[in-house]
Amino acid sequence: MPPPPPPAAASGRRSILSFAAARDRCFSRRFLRAGLRPLAIPLPTGVGGGDDAGTTVHVWVPANPPRNPLLLLHGFGASATWQWAPYLRPLIAAGFDPIVPDLLFFGASCTRLADRSDAFQARSIKAAMDAIGVARFGLVGVSYGGFVGYRMAAMYPDAVERVVLVCAGVCLEEKDLAAGLFPVAGVGEAAELLVPRRPEEVRRLVRLTFVRPPCIMPSCFLWDYIKVMGSDYIQEKTELLYALISERQLSNLPIISQPTLIVWGERDRVFPMELAHRLKRHLGEHSRLVVIRNAGHAVNLEKPKDVCRNIIEFFQERVTEALNDEKAETSKPLN
């Protein structure tokens, strides 16, 4: 999915006549009206294993200390504001406190280090959560954000309480590309698809990710989008994909222990349903699969109400379970 960065990343290229820049400002205002504020968090030395981390995570945080924090991780090609704007008010109304970072090399988050692994992304986001004083939280990851979220859940089981993975093909193997499971046959072609540089590449990506893509996508608007939103960190994003897919094997994927909700678009062509069922088998009884009908890989944008409802219901189960446990404890006979 190709939604792009927040204000800071592309401010130098903005024009009053740019539709993409205007839309980006609109999304940022929605975050501000929802009570979130942007922070640039320089990470402490050693987070990436170097003498000088040189890593900054841009994150939208609640103005008040969060009581029910929910970490939202965006998908590849997207920045936080474009992906999560429709979810803010429903989540807040349901009692959640969204925390919404840009992953490294998206939006205003960046690093000088050479590490491109999902584990480094996970360590960086966890360090940002520590910096804002959030020790335990629920997590939702979409597509690439699901890869990072899965890694966070495996690395920090005491911090991540519950997990929602939306069209996150974490169970893919590199050999799946050559076997024809995906619309691309190699990592290089996947990079060309997910880091579009020309209007025809954006059109191909949109048609692959949406069941009902826009009928008309004028080149002038797509060039504007690429110039304002999609021209930063092209090489680094390509390296992220190579690090994610190259030599990937299911046998090396840890089994996370947290309750996990798997949400998938029924007609996902980027990560086909086979990967959803593969992930369900991999996680076993700790997981549950929900399939959203008439939606593709961009299910979070095509069917935001359905996805958001499932997220809310899943995390509210935790509250119900806690209340039931407390009730059972108080009803025990005294010895």
- Residue 175: pLDDT band (50, 70, 90) is very high
Pairing of strands 137-142, 110-111: unpaired
Residue 330 included in any domain: no
For the ranges 56-60, 72-76, 180-184, the lowest mean pLDDT is seen at 180-184
Indicate the residue type of 260.
Answer: T
For the chain, give the number of residues.
335
Closest CA to 9 of 242, 297, 199, 236: 236
Residue 6 included in any domain: no
pLDDT of 2 reads: 40
Of the two residues 1 and 105, the one the predictor is more confident about is 105
Residue 10 included in any domain: no
Sign of the torsion formed by the C-alpha atoms of 109, 113, 119 and 125 = negative
Q: Who's near 166: CB < 8 A, 6+ residues apart?
A: 140, 141, 142, 143, 146, 263, 264, 299, 300, 307
Residue 309 included in any domain: yes
Among 16-30, 88-102, 213-227, top mean pLDDT goes to: 88-102
Residue 9 included in any domain: no
Query: 227: domain CATH number?
Result: 3.40.50.1820
Residue 327 included in any domain: no
Q: Kindly state the average pLDDT of the residues 97-117.
A: 95
Of the two residues 10 and 304, the one the predictor is more confident about is 304
Phi, psi dihedrals of residue 137, rounded to the nearest 5°: -165, 155
Residue 332 included in any domain: no
pLDDT of 327 reads: 46
pLDDT surpasses 90 at 245: yes
Burial class (CB in 10 A: 0-12, 13-18, 19+), 4: buried
**What tens digit of pLDDT does each residue of 259-278 get?**
999 999 999 999 999 999 99
Q: Kindly state the average pLDDT of the residues 53-62.
A: 92
**How high does pLDDT run on average in the chain?**
88
Closest CA to 316 of 68, 150, 35: 68
Residue 33 Cα distances to 89, 100, 231, 309, angstroms: 10, 15, 28, 22
Residue 197 included in any domain: yes
Structural domain harbouring 39: 19-316
Of the two residues 48 and 100, the one the predictor is more confident about is 100
The domain total for the chain is 1
Of the two residues 23 and 15, the one the predictor is more confident about is 23
Q: What percent of the chain has pLDDT over 90?
A: 71
